[in-house]
Structure 1
Amino acid sequence: MAQQLQLPDGQTIAYLLDLRVRKTIGLKITAQGLVVHAPKRISSKQLQQVLLQKAGWIQQKLALRAANQVAPMQWVDGEPLLFMGQDITLSLIRHPTSKAVALEGSQLVVRSPHIGNQAWVARKVLHWYTQQALPDFSRRVQLVAAQMGEKVTSVALSNARSRWGSCNSRKQIRLNWRLIQAPPHIIQYVVCHEMAHLREMNHSGRFYAVLESLFAKHLSAEKEMKALSSILHRMA
């Protein structure tokens, strides 16, 4: 639920309050702003005190988020895009009958009589990205599965806003389609991260030992992934 934190200097900070069965208060800065996870039985006064103590940290993180915000996608001719870590450009060409989307050199070309309709262009381009993503991700998963001597029951695409992948006990792997914009080594890192969960369904030391055996430079890749996150999420 939406809430407001009143600061001593008169400023206010909007936040979303998520009450859960837990013992501590957790703060998270997301694309939507501040999210507060708190115990269900906490009083308003207790929550206010904790948030005021953390006000400096909250303001600093919100300022960093604002500074790093990326301009929203404009589905117009000349818009910069990313594909497999490469800079490409959206090229819209009016055509009376064609509705084709194709990567031609460094341009993603959309030919259609509807190029003036941004919503239509967005649907076509996003569909093209998902078509490229699934075969690429599936190939990577199967190669890592063979390396591990494991079997994966299915590979599917995810549209999550906060997770790049998931693995469940049924050995089903889901990967965020937006990853196809990232450089190949970042895609490989995320694949290996999820595949490591086939052995360890947690983030324990044992899990990271498995991950390191699959992707030795996982720490640097994780930092790079975080830095890329806002850019990859330009695509809704």
Structure 2
Amino acid sequence: MTTLKYLSGYPESLQQQIRQLIVEKRLGDYLERRYPQRHQVQSDKALYGYVQQLRQSHLKSAPNIDKVLYDNRLDLTHRALGLHTAVSRVQGGKLKAKKEIRVAALFKEAAPEFLQMIVVHELAHLRESDHNRAFYKLCEHMMPGYAQTEFDLRCYLHWRELA
């Protein structure tokens, strides 16, 4: 029986359906049918604009993001697909806090829905630090269908490892 580490929190019945798709070599077809396109956000500058646009449309009162970039060092071995950080520095007599969002570079080649899901997830951390009910409600508000997209993204990660 194949261990599905990215789907370990999901019901066994769903995991079994994905295992069946893997055995039949149809997982890639399923994902290609659901997510046929690739996004055009390829540079760090374009990603910054994309994040700011989402923040502006859903979290207007949230603090500004100072830096957004694709990060080659984020990978699946650390279980990090995106990262949000707040860096505080003392400059003169003032405390400056800078907020950063880093997105794993593997999302340069992903479907636009997957990129949006990662960005929404990291933006939601501006309001909710924990993965609690309010956090996922906010994610769903910013991206209707968030839960399904997250599930499919986890399937995509398994499919990438198989390939």
Q: TM-score scaled to structure 1, two decimals?
A: 0.43
Letter in 2 for 1:152: I
Match of 2:136 among 188, 204, 208: 208
Check the 8 A contact 2:114/2:153 in 1, yes or no. Answer: yes
1: CA distance, partners of 2:45 / 2:159:
23
Check if 1:137 corresponds to 2:54.
no
Gap regions ≥5 residues in structure 2: 7-11, 26-34, 88-98
Aligned residues: percent identity?
22
Distance 1:132 1:234 in 2: 25
Q: How far off its partner does 1:175 sit?
A: 0.3
Q: 1:154 Cα deviation (Å)? A: 0.9
Which has the higher relative contact order, 1 or 2, with Cα contacts under 8 A spaced 6 or more apart? 2
More strand by share: 1
TM-aligned CA distance change 1:201 to 1:221, over 3 Å:
same
State the number of aligned residues. Answer: 126
Q: Give 1:192's aligned residue.
A: 120
Counterpart residue number, 2:109: 181
> What root-mean-square deviation, in Å, do the aligned CA atoms of Structure 1 and Structure 2 show?
3.7
Deviation at residue 190 of structure 1 after TM alignment: 1.2
Contact 1:137 1:175 in 2 (8 A): no
Answer yes or no: is the 8 Å Cα contact 1:178–1:232 preserved in 2. no
Conservation of the 8 A alpha-carbon contact between 2:75 and 2:104 = yes
Deviation, structure 1 residue 232: 4.3
Secondary structure at the aligned position of 1:175 is classed as strand
Q: TM-score, normalised by structure 2?
A: 0.60
The one-letter amino acid paired with 1:160 is D
Q: Residue 155 of structure 1 contacts residue 172 of structure 1 at CA under 8 Å; is this kept in 2?
A: yes
Bigger fraction of residues in helix: 2
Q: Which runs of structure 2 are paired with 1:111-190 in the superposition (5 Å)?
A: 132-147=42-57, 148-149=59-60, 150=62, 151-158=64-71, 159-161=74-76, 162-170=79-87, 171-190=99-118
Asked if 1 retains the 8 angstrom alpha-carbon contact of 2:107 and 2:115, the reply is: yes
**Structure 1: which 5+ residue stretches go unaligned?**
1-27, 32-56, 71-83, 88-128
Which has the higher Rg, Structure 1 or Structure 2?
Answer: 1
